[in-house]
Amino acid sequence: MAMSSPRTSRSPTPGVQTITRKVIRTLEGLGEHPVEEESSNPSSEDDEPQEKEKEKEKIDWEIPRKVLHSSIGFGTLYLYVSGGSAAPVTRVLWTSLLLVILPADILRLTLPRSPFAGLYNILLGPLMRPSELTQTNGVIYYILGVNIVLTFLPLDVAVVSILILSWADTAASTFGRLYGPSTSKLPWSKKKSVAGFVAAAVTGTSIVLGFWGGIGGGSWVPSEKGWVGTVVFGAYAGLVSAFAESLDFGLDDNLTLPVIAGGCLSAYITIYNRLFT
């Protein structure tokens, strides 16, 4: 009896051994879990700057498109200063649009797998947005907008409208991509930011004051109305440019921007002349 008791105490039953192992494993698992959380948290924090950098890298600045967009403004300004007429310009644009640009666009959209469509996208793809690869090329709306203002508005107002399309739109797009994520969206357009709106307003004001204040203008020169008239007209032009660029009617802004901006500027000049002259 004296010898059997110690052997019993040194040899636990299998059930006790099993329970003990499970408890030990559970405790070990509990001890390892916080370590896994701690090791994962720093890595996620370290990855945040990298993810932000990747987001910045994903921004498409559309440099070839913006260069072409802006260069048209300089070309328009040169034609105006050199005494060029709007009639031959509109004829060339209409002929190019109806006989070359529009048929080519219809063909590449109708036969997207054809060699012509492939060549079209290779040559003009860098100047197009990704959405335009399967939709109407924005250059068609650009030419329509330019031709409308050149046909129906006074030449100086039409030129300013094209400059707003060329430069204010580019400024809004650039600054919107650069600072848009850190500014709020516009209440009437969730796709547009306050940064882009301000950039378009400043650029539009600069264009109008620089054109009529220096280069000239046949129908109206704000500098002749005094500094108050100049400031008021410049501020109005800037707001018109920004609002016209930010509005979304479901149409390409290459068409709506010059038409709305030019129409509002022409209306302002007409009303002013009737009231104060």
SS (H, E, C) the chain: CCCHHHHHHHCCCHHHHHHHHHHHHHHHHHHHHHHHHHHHHHHHHHHHHHHHHHHHHCCCCCHHHHHHHHHHHHHHHHHHHCCCCHHHHHHHHHHHHHHHHHHHHHHHHHCCCCHHHHHHHHHHHHHCCHHHHCCCCHHHHHHHHHHHHHHHCCHHHHHHHHHHHHHHHHHHHHHHHHHHHHCCEECCEEEEEHHHHHHHHHHHHHHHHHHHHHHCCCCCCHHHHHHHHHHHHHHHHHHHHHHHHHCCCCCCHHHHHHHHHHHHHHHHHHHHHHHHC
Instruction: Quote the radius of gyration of the chain (alpha carbons, Å).
Output: 33
Q: What confidence category does residue 180 fall into, taking pLDDT thresholds of 50, 70 and 90?
A: confident
Confidence at 258, pLDDT banded by 50, 70, 90: very high
Q: What is the pLDDT of residue 276?
A: 74
Quick one: pLDDT at residue 193? 92
d(CA 186, CA 170): 18
Residue range 118-165, pLDDT digits in tens? 999 999 888 888 888 889 999 999 999 999 999 999 988 999 999 999
How high is the pLDDT of residue 181?
87
Are 149 and 158 in contact by the 8 Å Cβ rule? The answer is: yes
pLDDT of residue 42: 46
Sign of the dihedral through C-alpha 34, 35, 37, 41: positive
Of 65-74, 152-161, 233-242, the least confident: 65-74
How far is the C-alpha of 138 from the C-alpha of 11, rounded, in Å? 87
Instruction: Name the token pair of 97.
Output: 């649009």
Alpha carbon distance 15, 117 (integer Å)? 77
Query: What local confidence, expressed as pLDDT, does residue 64 receive?
Result: 81
Lowest mean pLDDT among 53-57, 94-98, 155-159, 228-232: 53-57
**Encoded tokens for 160:** 């300013």
What is the reported pLDDT for 85?
A: 81
Q: In the numeric block, which tokens belong to residue 99?
A: 């006989």
Q: Which two tokens stand for residue 49?
A: 């700057």
Mean per-residue pLDDT of the chain = 80
Q: Is 66 exposed, middle or buried (0-12, 13-18, 19+ CB in 10 A)?
A: middle
CA 271 to chain centre: 33
If one compares 120 and 12, the residue with the highest pLDDT of the two is: 120
Q: What is the pTM of this model?
A: 0.74
Which pLDDT belongs to residue 25?
63
User: Does 117 or 229 have the greater pLDDT score?
Assistant: 117
Task: Give the tens place of pLDDT for each residue, 41-51.
Answer: 444 444 545 55
